[in-house]
Each structure stands twice: as structure tokens, then as C-alpha cells.
């Protein structure tokens, strides 16, 4: 895990070299380089390795996925969205660079990330690169994180309690807002590792259950953590009437649902003996014990 993170950070730093006009590259780099677990790019490399591929071929895609993730954080934090002043314990992008540059830095990352994939992916067929790019756009846009974010805003604005089926809406939000990026990471790693059908099928199942587990965990953590332990404002979900696993089912049932997804994730991925995937699952389980 540590080696993967170092590899990713080294390459992110290299890809995000400051060019003209520096304001935009600095704003892009600021949020991408905030210390983080790099879970999505690590998953991409590990999926490539387990599929039998050379992780070097997946590095540009792994970094691109981290850039896309940073983009979603920059725009989520904007005053017109979640209006968060902090991210990973530091002032959020628009607090440092101003709102206009934060909007533009996010925009720039959406297209810089696939540019990095095209310019730096070696020893992989054009067909595989196009497949990866296609997955990237699906996850990045109106069939992925944007769809999830829009549904999330709607649930908040119109009071989800009046919805006919808030459960369906919650699943839609989390499938798109969170699981979509894990799916992108794991599937693109598999494609770049030239995976067979069996592995591809397993890794997609794992993406689905891990992605849902991760979001339920995040909802629980927002409820039980403090600012200091998390580095961002907490307890906002309930206050703002957000539709989450905790607000819809209560804390205990949310924990049960998390454990259920964790069990499913373990069942699927267990046979591959991946220390990285096992330890990522363990962390979710341990995190809610305290």
C-alpha cells in the first residue's frame, strides 16, 4: 500500500507541473496534492496487478482518477453546493484561490485527467485506452458522479421525507456519487491488466459492494466524528436534512447495512488474497467500532 501511494504521489506531482498561467495549475495541484489515502488510484493499480498486468501501464489512469476525485471535491465544496470551508484539514480550494478559479480548476481537471491518460499510457492497445476513457466519462458525468450529486441536492431541497421511495433515491445517489469512482478505478485497472471475463465480473461485484460500504461508512462517520478526527466539517448531514443511510434508517440499521456490504465484499474478493483490498475492508469495519 505504502509503495503504491508513493508511486501515485510522485507521478501526480510530475503530471501537475506548474505551467502558464500558474494560477490555474496551482489551484488544480492544491486539492489533488492534499494528503489523502489515494484509495481509488491504489485500487486501480491493485486491480491491474491481480488481473495479471504490469501496474506501470495503469499509473496514468490511476492518477487521472485521483484528479477526477479532487475535481468533485473542489466543486462539492463551493458556496453554491455544500459550502464547505475545509477539506482534508485545510482550507477548501475556493477559500484559497477564490470561487472563479476553483470553478475553473475543477473544469480543467475533468479534461486534464484523460489528457494524461492519452499522453502517458504506453504498451496498451488503442482499443483498451478508448475503453478506459469511455469508463472515465461515464463515471465523471451525468451517468456517474454528477447524476449522484444532482439527486443528492434534490433530496435536500425537496425534503426526501415526502418522496414516494426515498430508499431507491438513496441507492441511486450512492451508487452514482461514490460507487461510480470505485467502479471506474477497479474496472479500468482490470482493462489495463488485460483481465479475463471471470476477474472482470468479480472486480465489478467487489466495486459495487465496496463502494456502497464506503458511502454508508462515510454517512456513519459524519454522524459520530469530530472535526479534528476528520479534517472537515461534520454533523452537517442531519442539520441540512440530507438523505443518508443514517438519516433514513438510523445509526444502528446503517451499521447493519454496512456490515452486510462488508461481508459481501469479503466473500467476492477473499479468493484473490489481496492485502490491499482486505486491509481497505478492515478499515471500514474498525472505523465504526470506536
For 142, counting Cβ atoms within 10 Å of its Cβ (0-12 exposed, 13-18 middle, 19+ buried), the class is exposed
The answer to whether residue 107 forms part of the interface with a copy of itself (CB under 8 A) is: yes
For 163, counting Cβ atoms within 10 Å of its Cβ (0-12 exposed, 13-18 middle, 19+ buried), the class is middle
In angstroms, give the least distance from the CB of 103 to a copy of itself.
Answer: 6
The answer to whether residue 126 forms part of the interface with a copy of itself (CB under 8 A) is: yes
With contacts defined by CB under 8 A, name the span among 47-55, 73-81, 182-190, 240-248 that binds a copy of itself: 73-81
For 281, counting Cβ atoms within 10 Å of its Cβ (0-12 exposed, 13-18 middle, 19+ buried), the class is buried
Contacts with a copy of itself in 185-224 (CB under 8 A)? Answer: none
State the number of binding residues for a copy of itself (CB under 8 A).
49
In angstroms, give the least distance from the CB of 237 to a copy of itself.
Answer: 17
With contacts defined by CB under 8 A, name the span among 125-133, 196-204, 217-225, 263-271 that binds a copy of itself: 125-133
In angstroms, give the least distance from the CB of 102 to a copy of itself.
Answer: 8
| Residue number with CB closer to a copy of itself (53 or 114) | 114
Contacts with a copy of itself in 45-64 (CB under 8 A)? Answer: none
Angle (CA) 178 7 204, round 5°: 35
The answer to whether residue 150 forms part of the interface with a copy of itself (CB under 8 A) is: yes
With contacts defined by CB under 8 A, name the span among 151-159, 181-189, 213-221, 260-268 that binds a copy of itself: 151-159
Per-residue HEC secondary structure of 8-77 comes to HHHHHHHHCCCCCCHHHHHHHHHHHCCCCCCHHHHHHHHHHHHCCCCHHHHHHHHHHHHHHHHHHHHHHC
Amino acid at each position: 500500500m505504502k509503495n503504491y501511494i508513493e508511486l501515485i504521489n510522485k507521478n501526480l506531482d510530475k503530471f501537475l507541473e506548474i505551467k502558464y498561467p500558474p494560477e490555474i495549475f496551482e489551484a488544480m495541484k492544491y486539492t489533488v496534492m492534499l494528503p489523502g489515502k489515494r484509495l481509488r488510484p491504489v485500487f486501480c493499480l491493485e486491480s491491474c496487478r491481480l488481473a495479471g498486468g504490469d501496474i506501470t501501464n495503469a499509473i496514468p489512469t490511476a492518477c487521472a482518477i485521483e484528479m477526477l476525485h479532487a475535481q468533485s471535491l473542489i466543486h462539492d465544496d463551493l458556496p453554491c453546493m455544500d459550502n464547505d470551508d475545509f477539506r482534508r484539514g485545510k482550507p477548501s480550494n475556493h477559500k484559497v484561490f477564490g470561487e472563479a478559479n476553483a470553478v475553473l480548476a475543477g473544469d480543467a481537471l475533468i479534461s486534464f485527467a484523460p489528457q494524461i491518460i492519452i499522453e502517458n499510457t504506453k504498451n496498451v492497445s488503442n482499443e483498451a485506452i478508448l475503453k478506459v476513457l469511455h469508463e472515465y466519462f461515464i463515471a465523471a458525468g451525468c451517468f456517474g458522479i454528477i447524476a449522484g450529486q444532482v439527486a443528492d441536492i434534490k433530496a435536500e431541497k425537496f425534503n426526501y421525507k415526502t418522496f414516494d421511495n426515498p430508499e431507491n433515491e438513496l441507492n441511486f445517489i450512492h451508487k452514482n456519487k461514490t460507487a461510480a469512482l470505485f467502479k471506474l478505478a477497479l474496472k479500468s485497472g482490470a482493462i489495463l491488466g488485460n483481465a479475463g471475463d471471470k476477474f472482470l465480473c468479480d472486480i465489478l461485484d467487489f466495486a459495487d459492494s465496496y463502494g456502497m460500504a464506503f458511502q454508508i461508512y462515510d454517512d456513519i462517520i459524519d454522524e459520530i466524528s469530530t472535526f479534528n478526527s476528520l479534517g472537515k466539517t461534520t454533523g452537517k448531514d442531519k442539520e441540512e436534512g440530507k438523505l443518508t443511510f443514517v438519516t433514513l434508517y438510523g445509526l444502528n440499521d446503517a451499521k447493519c447495512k454496512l456490515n452486510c456490504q462488508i461481508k459481501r465484499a469479503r466473500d467476492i474478493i477473499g479468493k484473490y488474497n489481496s492485502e490491499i483490498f482486505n486491509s481497505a475492508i478492515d478499515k471500514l469495519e474498525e472505523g465504526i467500532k470506536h
